[in-house]
Structure 1
């Protein structure tokens, strides 16, 4: 049985960089493999004595036909995970303008934005089928590498991995969230002069937010909800779950809450990573 990951997603969202990281982690990477050869290479990787125990297939223009193969490969007993790389349209436009590359669908519509939106529409089924969606809009190459290493290093492959992410609603919703929670009802440190320059990492901010009836009750209830849900996700074979917690700016309430939830998850042995998208804004 082979470990297989299918890397798909929007052009310019980081497929090539992701493939490079997986290759460094020991995965055998095949880019733009024709659909007709997928079964062949999977069979080769699964043979006894094969030196391809972990196989990464990078989708090019054949995203849809690659997805059609997933069911039959899984039915053969292989573990297949689908990674979808996403990014906002303005960010993709910026990246294409910086590199001066043509979009793969430039011949089918007029304009870069239209090309990106057409590809996004065509890839909706792939995104819906993904086990893990990573929004690379605000990630540099080093941060993307960290996300890939966290998700696909050998030590974490068999466990449900939970990402807890704080964000600010005024900066937009995270594209990769499975669950979005709003903590704007909590006391806002922004209106306390001595707390405004601090972040949710500071104990004073944490206490202001969470040492209240509303804050402590919410965290207890969310902790209980996750304690109930995570075993069910794991039972269903879910490999990843991203919980996004948002406040207005993403600096105080969401950060403090995300850190507290991550701490509680770790205390129960859950593999968890925490990220703060907007804390530095």
Structure 2
């Protein structure tokens, strides 16, 4: 396979490591980043999966495969499978690890047995697993020690490692709405524009909406309108940066007025423009109640 054909076939990432070290969290984070994730795949199925990605020709551009000791005896063939596949494709291997004591506490917290402990203790299972994974760990491209990580920190680290260059790590939806139709149930933050004069009471503007220039000019000319929206955008800068650090992938900022037709629409659009260049954030605008009677 030529280098161009390899690029067309897409990226392949194998996720493995110690039970309790965060494989599921890493897999979920990759899925949120747009990877096609296959969980608990026997090593013998890796080659057919690669065949599929090559036949798909770009339909599956990024595939992550979770392979671990849940495969029981089948798992022992993983080192040989990785060697064979690396002769054919560029494959990255990520290994998740943690200290034995930390793993014991995690298993005790969820009250589940270690998959290899059998009639022994959780620690017996951990030690056996570590022996079986020694060769795999040595061949890993990336080793992440999650001993001091919570799930949010691990998700953030995975996002930093495997996001596409320039890809947004957070999607912000700015939602205009009318209070008379109820608060948006999925809003993270709500701002009330009813402190501004209502264009509804202006005969020339009543039939228009916040998407019309005349209404926009009217709303932004009111005392406090520009001051509010600029200050509010500035206040959201640290919030959005914090959401990214905490791996919060989506948020909704709701901007309300009485009917969701004039003031909230104008201010939602203005806020979106002010936040359009926010690093790592994709901004979109929705008008929930625009067009309702």
| TM-score between both structures, scaled by the size of structure 2 | 0.50
Partner of 1:24: 32
For 1:64 and 1:81, how far apart are their aligned partners in 2? Answer: 19
Dislocated runs of 4+, deviation >3 Å: none
**Alignment pair present for 1:65 and 2:65:** no
Instruction: Provide Cα deviations, 1:65-96, integer angstroms capped at 9, x if missing partner.
Output: 223222222222x2201100000111111111
Could you tell me which of 53, 62, 70 is aligned with 1:54?
62
Could you tell me which of 119, 127, 149 is aligned with 1:139?
149
**Alignment pair present for 1:90 and 2:101:** yes
Q: Secondary structure at the match of 2:91?
A: strand
Instruction: Provide Cα deviations, 1:24-58, integer angstroms capped at 9, x if missing partner.
Output: 11111111112332211111112254421111110
Instruction: Provide Cα deviations, 1:92-114, integer angstroms capped at 9, x if missing partner.
Output: 1111111001100121x511111
For 2:57 and 2:145, how far apart are their aligned partners in 1? Answer: 37
Gaps of 5+ in 1: 157-281
Asked if the contact 1:15–1:85 (Cα under 8 Å) also holds between the matched residues in 2, the reply is yes
Aligned residues: 155
For 1:64 and 1:54, how far apart are their aligned partners in 2? Answer: 25
For 2:109 and 2:56, how far apart are their aligned partners in 1? Answer: 46
Q: Secondary structure at the match of 1:47?
A: helix
Partner of 1:15: 23
Instruction: Provide Cα deviations, 1:151-202, integer angstroms capped at 9, x if missing partner.
Output: 111119xxxxxxxxxxxxxxxxxxxxxxxxxxxxxxxxxxxxxxxxxxxxxx
Which of the two has higher C-alpha Rg?
Answer: 2
| TM-score between both structures, scaled by the size of structure 1 | 0.52
For 1:35 and 1:94, how far apart are their aligned partners in 2? Answer: 29
Q: Secondary structure at the match of 1:73?
A: helix
Partner of 1:127: 137
Asked if the contact 1:29–1:57 (Cα under 8 Å) also holds between the matched residues in 2, the reply is yes
For 1:5 and 1:48, how far apart are their aligned partners in 2? Answer: 17
Gaps of 5+ in 2: 1-5, 167-293
For 1:10 and 1:57, how far apart are their aligned partners in 2? Answer: 15
How far did 1:64 drift?
3.4
Q: Secondary structure at the match of 1:154?
A: coil
